[in-house]
Amino acid sequence: MSYEKKLKAYKKRTITKEELENLFSLTRDDLLFAAIEPLAEKGLLRPVKASKTNGNIKYPIFLKYKIIVPEVRNRKKSRHCIHACKKLDTCGRNHRNTKSTEHKCRL
């Protein structure tokens, strides 16, 4: 399984250096750095800067990372309301061209 798939399957959204070593089965800092760097460039990992680094000048690895999983937008939720009314409804959109002013927005 690729490193990207392993990260997406990981349950928590914050991961430590030790957890990354266990997840990727890597113990050496140079190999772990080579695995983390492309993921950080892709935007899947973001370092927690307050956690500091491992102290290695050649292969600096932060002690904690945030896992960024892109959200898949649901097409149904992104559509505009089909119905309309003259007042603002509970959905917050301005609806037009209906007789009824009391309805719920179905997204």
82 lies in some domain? no
80 lies in some domain? no
Measured distance CA(84)–CA(61) in Å, rounded: 54
pLDDT of 4-50, one tens digit each? 888 888 999 999 999 999 999 999 999 999 999 999 999 999 999 99
Q: CB atoms < 10 A from the CB of 93, how many?
A: 14
Helix axes 17-24, 29-42, angle to 10 degrees: 100
89 confidence band (pLDDT: 50, 70, 90): very low
Is residue 73 over pLDDT 80? no
Give the pTM: 0.63
Number of structural domains the chain divides into: 1
92 lies in some domain? no
Measured distance CA(100)–CA(19) in Å, rounded: 56
17 lies in some domain? yes
Q: CB atoms < 10 A from the CB of 7, how many?
A: 19
1 confidence band (pLDDT: 50, 70, 90): confident
Q: Whole domain around residue 45: which residue ranges?
A: 3-67
Q: Under DSSP, is residue 45 helix (H, G, I), strand (E, B) or coil?
A: strand
26 lies in some domain? yes
